[in-house]
């Protein structure tokens, strides 16, 4: 990604956003890529380069809390309606009307909120690892853990409890190599026992877990990750979790009328499932998009032989599939 193409704008909520932007050529569509945790716009570098070279408009923000973007630590700042408003403000700053919105991990949640609050600004939606997330005004965290353990044999989001703890950032930095090794695993199955269940993440970090790097995670990636987060910290990124566990997200979702719970049927959807993701299980997305809520939608589902970080490990395949899907819109 050409460093000269990064820009800054102040959105209506007063936050500065840092983002990569290359305008479209020959009337092609603009694609907005949203990253997740723990990441930055760089995670989409392969896709950004690929589509930019083909004349598509490419916009990749450092999401709130990351990179060159503002880093508020108040969880309320990360409510879905606010994040969606921020993205629309960036589109307005670049005089972009309708875009294709693509997300990975928490970036998929941001794309979901665009569908909830500003569907008129999105031509089509793509979700990787984490599927579309409808509003949830109840959001009972403990009940979800109970249900997921009964259904899958372990709590899928038990690690959120650690991320909500006051000492989470300190523990991460005290055991930084263990954190990186766990969140970019060479063996995806370790998430079943060492990350997902209640209490597992703290125990894994404090025991200084170590493992070889996966093929997609280079020494340069490791170095940049350490430099970036040692400088920027984790308090702001952790707020993406704390807005959920604190109840702010549920209160925000309670404002949504049920008629707006799902994207318009006129908007095509792409779902890229990660076969070896042990938290964002492929079956969750597949079942969702096969449900009655999406019976009138045009949904394309692709499954990749990768773990949660499929946008890094399978970038070439994903880029080709996305281009074929976009060409057919």
DSSP states of 52-85? HHTT-EEEEEPPTTSTTS-----GGGG-HHHHHH
Q: What is the pLDDT of residue 280?
A: 98
Matching residue, tokens 């508020």:
72
304 Rama sector, left if φ>0, alpha if ψ -120 to 50, beta otherwise: beta
Does residue 21 contact residue 41 with C-beta atoms inside 8 Å?
Answer: no
pLDDT tens by residue, 115-168? 999 999 999 999 999 999 999 999 889 999 999 999 999 999 999 999 999 999
State how far the Cα of 31 lies from the Cα of 164, in Å rounded to an integer. Answer: 33
Q: Which domains are present in the chain?
A: 3-136+255-327 (3.40.50.1820), 141-249 (no CATH)
What Å distances lie between residue 78 and 19, 193, 240, 242, 247, CA to CA?
18, 29, 6, 9, 12
CA atoms within 13 A on the CB side of 160: 18
Strand pairing class (57-61; 99-104): unpaired
Residue 214 scores a pLDDT above 90:
yes
pLDDT tens by residue, 44-84? 999 999 999 999 999 999 999 999 999 999 999 999 999 99
301, β-bridge pairs? 271
Burial of 118 (0-12, 13-18, 19+ CB in 10 A): middle
Q: How confident is the model at residue 285 (pLDDT cuts 50, 70, 90)?
A: very high
Token pair, residue 50, equals: 């690929």
DSSP states of 173-217? HHTHHHHHHHHS-SSTTHHHHHTSSTTHHHHHHHTT---PPPTT-
Does residue 75 contact residue 248 with C-beta atoms inside 8 Å?
Answer: yes
Global model pTM greater than 0.95? yes
Q: What is the pLDDT of residue 139?
A: 84
């Amino acid at each position: 990604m050409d460093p000269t193409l990064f820009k800054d704008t102040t959105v209506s909520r007063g936050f500065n956003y840092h983002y990569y932007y290359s305008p479209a050529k020959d009337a092609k569509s603009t694609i907005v890529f949203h990253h997740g945790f723990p990441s930055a716009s760089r995670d989409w570098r392969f896709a950004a380069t690929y589509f930019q070279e083909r004349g598509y408009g490419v916009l990749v923000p450092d999401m709130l809390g990351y990179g060159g973007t503002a880093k508020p630590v108040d969880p309320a700042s990360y409510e879905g309606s606010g994040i969606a408003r921020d993205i629309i403000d960036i589109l307005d700053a670049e005089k972009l009307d309708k875009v294709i919105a693509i997300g990975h991990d928490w970036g998929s949640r941001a794309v979901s909120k665009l569908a909830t609050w500003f569907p008129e600004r999105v031509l089509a939606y793509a979700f990787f690892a984490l599927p579309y997330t409808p509003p949830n005004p109840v959001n009972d965290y403990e009940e979800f853990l109970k249900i997921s353990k009964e259904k899958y044999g372990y709590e899928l989001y038990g690690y959120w409890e650690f991320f909500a703890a006051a000492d989470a950032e300190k523990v991460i930095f005290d055991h930084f190599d263990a954190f990186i090794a766990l969140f970019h695993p060479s063996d995806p199955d370790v998430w079943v026992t060492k990350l997902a269940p209640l209490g597992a993440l703290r125990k894994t970090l404090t025991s200084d877990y170590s493992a070889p790097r996966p093929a997609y995670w280079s020494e340069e990636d490791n170095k940049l990750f350490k430099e970036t987060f040692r400088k920027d910290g984790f308090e702001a990124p952790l707020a993406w979790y704390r807005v959920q566990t604190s109840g702010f997200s549920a209160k925000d979702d309670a404002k949504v009328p049920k008629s707006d719970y799902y994207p318009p049927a006129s908007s095509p959807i792409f779902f890229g499932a990660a076969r070896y993701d042990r938290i964002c299980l492929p079956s969750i997305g597949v079942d969702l998009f096969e449900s009655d809520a999406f019976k009138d939608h045009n949904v394309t589902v692709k499954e990749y032989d990768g773990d949660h970080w499929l946008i890094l490990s399978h970038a070439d395949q994903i880029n080709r599939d996305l281009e074929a899907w976009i060409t057919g819109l």
